[in-house]
Structure 1
Amino acid sequence: MSAPLVLGIETSCDETGVGIVRGRELLANVISSSMEEHARYGGVVPEVAARAHLEAIEPALRQALETAGIGFGDLDALAVTAGPGLAGALMVGVGAAKGLATATGLPLYGVNHLVGHVGADLLRPPGEEPSPPLDEPTIALLVSGGHTSLLLVRDLVTDVELLGETIDDAAGEAFDKVARILGLPYPGGPEIDRAAVGGDPAAIRFPRGLTQQKDLDRHRYDFSFSGLKTAVARWVERARDEGRPVPVADVAAGFREAVAEVLLTKAVAACVDSGVPRLLLGGGVVANARVRALAEERCAAAGIALRVPPLSLCTDNGAMIAAVGAGLVTAGRPPSGLSFGADSTLPVTDVAVR
């Protein structure tokens, strides 16, 4: 089957996503976000997220089918995020997918959320040509609210290796926490980006976690942003205690620069060390202007080809899960069946669960 028609469901965090693809052609990408509900609490509340998924999943399914102009009978397979993510949120999507598979008789694939972010690069919004096939192997840097990971992707559907990940806060979490320190709204990523405009990234030198030689021996490709967040908090607290105004633009710019430098330094090092001159970015933090700009600068200087999915496909969505599902069908991989459960800590080496 060269271009299977696959519906994908994503409910790993606070966005209910349903996408439909034909091979690498994007037919529908419906996303219902509960971000405004979480904004009242300054971060994602798992119980609130799960309830929002329950309310949004059926309308999202109907809208996706209508947008694609198809019915369930036209589909070749279903795919759903099996993990990692919030357990309660994942259960909503997995339960819905199993119900659909039982009712329609369609094969079901339980897909890894992180691998889905890599698969997103294969798609393009309606009206645009799909991107060229992914050159493999490639290094993938995935940066979101819950994950900061470096992957070596030898084959998207059969061979993905975890090189490193965050040992504490993910980059997106750090953005949210620093935004709160500066009195900025949730979510912190876009707010920090806006606040940093006009700021001097060199005015305040914040620490770059796990980049000292003593740390690189054990954590060459791992990330740590908890210390950076604490350093920002202490700097702001000291300024306020001394009665000095907090230069929000400079703090935001300095913090953003520290995050971007750590991310790209380690990603480029992974490319060079592995002899893989290709880097793919994925995840919601890729929307950060400085992260994208520094990625372009560092990759150009090192002779590394850079790929970045459309921003509409960088945040969590069902289309990326459908894309991996289509790849699994095309490769002749057996479906997952109905016995698998939601796995909040699913390792990235498990592209599809059994």
Structure 2
Amino acid sequence: MPYSFILKAALFIVILPFAVVSIKLNNIKYATIITKDKIKFKYLVIIFLVFALNLTYSCNKEFGALKLSNFVIGTLPSILILIYIKEIFDDSLILLITPFLLVGSVLLMTVLLFTGSFTYAGSYKILNLEYSHVIASRILSPIILWFNYLISTEENKNTIYKIFFPVLYLNTGLIFIAHRASVTGVILITIYFIFTCKNRLITGCLLISSLVIAFLLFPQKTERHKNLFSAGNKNDYSIESRLDLWETAIEKIREKPLTGYGLGGFKCPADKPFVHIYKYPHNIFLEAGSEMGLTGIILLIFLLYKILISAYRKSKFLFSIALLAFWWSLFSKDISTQTVLWMYAGMIEER
């Protein structure tokens, strides 16, 4: 939790000055941004009130309060930033920062692959510091989708051959990281690009080439991916633990289908060993059901629908990142720290 908070705070500090300067250059008034998007705050207030209400009867109030505070500290600033980005977003912005983003991401991947040894436990050691493969993949996978989107569009045909091989390298490197939620998410959304874009041949070749290189030439790096759908595989801790957590969440939903166990209440006394280690089931729907009951599930479905449909109307690229964030939410993190997903509440539009 401290590392996550520090990272969010650092990103916010870096982004904020650029937003302030841009607001000044475009003669935008702060009051206009807030009043123009007050419809978004309605949904934020609903989420906050539901969280607070469920905290009152939680059987684990300490963690419930932590989840509520993390939503306020980590998610709300992200939503405000995206509200602003939505106002200035333009596809030309993608081409403008692409060279800088490409160089930075290639350097990051090179450091991870050649100076940091990957361990089965999921960490890289660089200069005696450990970096989770989850953090690395969450940084790289949106960048890779960004470039896949560029390659897939007819308008950016002149950029295809300039970034094809670096993107191939990044796609392959993402698979090396062995964070399966990110890998499968990027693959599924790239397939979506293939069927919806004009440059299908280029995008298809990119995906197939990445898979061939990673899975055939470096099988020792992709051992964890082979067990992706191996239910009950005792040799894979992440799969075994999730099956245990999901089973427990389903049991809790059956016990209290209307109210749940309260915010943070997933970690109540249970016979499953992994429940004593993890405080949430690593699935946003099962978490909502076990902690907030039927009301939580209905609210979640409604918000996700509003988020995804609004992102789709704004931009195919932004929609792809929202889809990736939704995919992540089915396998990792708790409902209050799904920042990449909740920040898209800043895009909700009324039609």
Structure 1-normalised TM-score? 0.27
Greater relative contact order, per chain length (Cα 8 Å cut-off, separation 6+) = 1
Judging by fraction of residues, say which structure has more helix.
2
